[in-house]
Amino acid sequence: MTATNGRPVDGAARPTAPSATRRDTVAAVVGQWQTVHPDLDTGPMEIIGRINRCAALLQQAEDAPLRRAGLSRPEFDLLGALRRTGHELTPSELTRETFSSGAAVTKRLKQLTERGLVERRGDTRDRRVAHVRLTDAGRELVDAILPEQLAYETTVLSGLDDPGQGELATLLGELLVQLEGRLGMLRV
């Protein structure tokens, strides 16, 4: 099973990189591990470590335009789900759509309702279920923030050239398909 992906830490095959690419922190960490345990295949760290670190850094930076609007990223994800689907969603649909737990969705809905960004109505047939929709204010807020957010994200990513971004998106997509497909049934 073990893919022996034992290539050198930095010797990339991509023809783009012309010269002196500085070392990122993950490379440094991996280097340390390799001197302590030269026998181990540290390949996975270079992907997983970097994904985690990128996620952390991006989250910190990325959320700047959101914070200005007084929203956290999970809150924005919830509003965004309502906006992009274009129709009402039940709380359980929102948990699926935003990949978070039911309890978290309940709390966020409470807050967002109090702020008048979201409304709920009960189902007429099944009185267990609720239907949540954006208020006008909520829709306007999302529509106002989204372009700012995307513009900001664009500049954050601009350190990587365009073909690089395309490749990165594609590779992450391939990985994600595998993870989403296979990960439910992995109990190693």
Partner DNA sequence: GAGAAATATTTCACGAGTAAAACACCTGCT
Partner DNA sequence: AGCAGGTGTTTTACTCGTGAAATATTTCTC
Binding footprint of DNA on the chain (CB under 7 A): 72, 74, 90-93, 100-111, 125-130
CB of 130 vs DNA, minimal distance in Å? 4
Q: Does 144 bind its own copies (CB under 8 A)?
A: no
Restricting to residues 41-70, which ones interact with its own copies according to CB under 8 A? 41-48, 50-62, 64-65
How many of the other CB atoms lie within 10 Å of CB of 36?
8
CB of 29 vs its own copies, minimal distance in Å? 7
Residues in a beta bridge with 131: 121
* Cα distances (Å, whole numbers) of residue 174 to 28, 122, 135, 164, 180: 27, 40, 36, 15, 10
Q: Does 38 bind its own copies (CB under 8 A)?
A: no
CB of 171 vs its own copies, minimal distance in Å? 4
Q: Which of 27, 66, 69, 130 binds its own copies (CB under 8 A)?
A: 27
19 CB contacts (<8 Å, ≥6 apart)?
A: none
Q: What are phi and psi of 6, to 5 degrees?
A: -85, 55
- Packing angle between helix 91-98 and helix 102-114, nearest 10 degrees? 110
Q: Which stretch binds its own copies (CB under 8 A): 87-95, 110-118, 122-130, 175-183?
A: 175-183
- Rounded CA separation 76/79 (Å): 5
Restricting to residues 66-125, which ones interact with its own copies according to CB under 8 A? 80, 83-86, 99
Q: Does 168 bind its own copies (CB under 8 A)?
A: yes
